[in-house]
Every structure is written in C-alpha cells, then in structure tokens.
Amino acid sequence: MDVPKDVTREFVTALFAIAYPFNDDDWGTDQQVSAENDVYHVLEHLGLDIGEGSKFAMWALKATTEERLDQCRKLWREFKDNGH
C-alpha cells in the first residue's frame, strides 16, 4: 500500500473498519489479512513503534487478530492525542 502524503484520522479509521474480520468466514481471507497489514504499515509509517523487534511485535505473536487491532487502535489514539 502506498501511504497517502496526508494521512487523516478518517483514513486510519476506515482502514481499521476493513481490517477487523466481519465474521469467522472473513477471518484470514486475503482481503482481511491485506487490510490488517495495511493498518500496521500506515501506523509504522506515521512513527508508531510496532515493527519487528518492538514490544508490540513480541506481544502480538500470541494475540488474536482482534487483540492486535484493538491494541493498535489504542496506540493510534494515544499517538494522535499526544499531538502527532
């Protein structure tokens, strides 16, 4: 995914909306996994420390899809609330 030059709150919110599996049949589909990876890519591009070797990445190994996305959403909100 090419990250837009001006990433808005609405853009990130829309990414989250499509990254969460809609139901059990959606979980793990190419579209869902791609959207989830897009969330990580955009957040990392913005400066959140969620990449390989980070505390998040180590924790995420044992987390469910929903837990990972919930934690990313929390980190994103904290990041934005701190003026980024």
pLDDT in tens, 4-30: 778 888 889 999 999 999 888 888 899
- Residue 61: the pLDDT is 94
- Residue 43 reports pLDDT greater than 90: yes
- Please choose, from the candidates 6, 1, 13, 23, the residue with its C-alpha nearest in 3D space to the C-alpha of residue 72: 13
- Residue 54 reports pLDDT greater than 90: yes
Q: Vertex 8, ends 7 and 12: CA angle to 5°?
A: 85
- Residue 9: the pLDDT is 85
- Please choose, from the candidates 81, 78, 8, the residue with its C-alpha nearest in 3D space to the C-alpha of residue 42: 8
Domain residue extents for the chain:
9-81
**For the whole model, what pTM was predicted?**
0.85
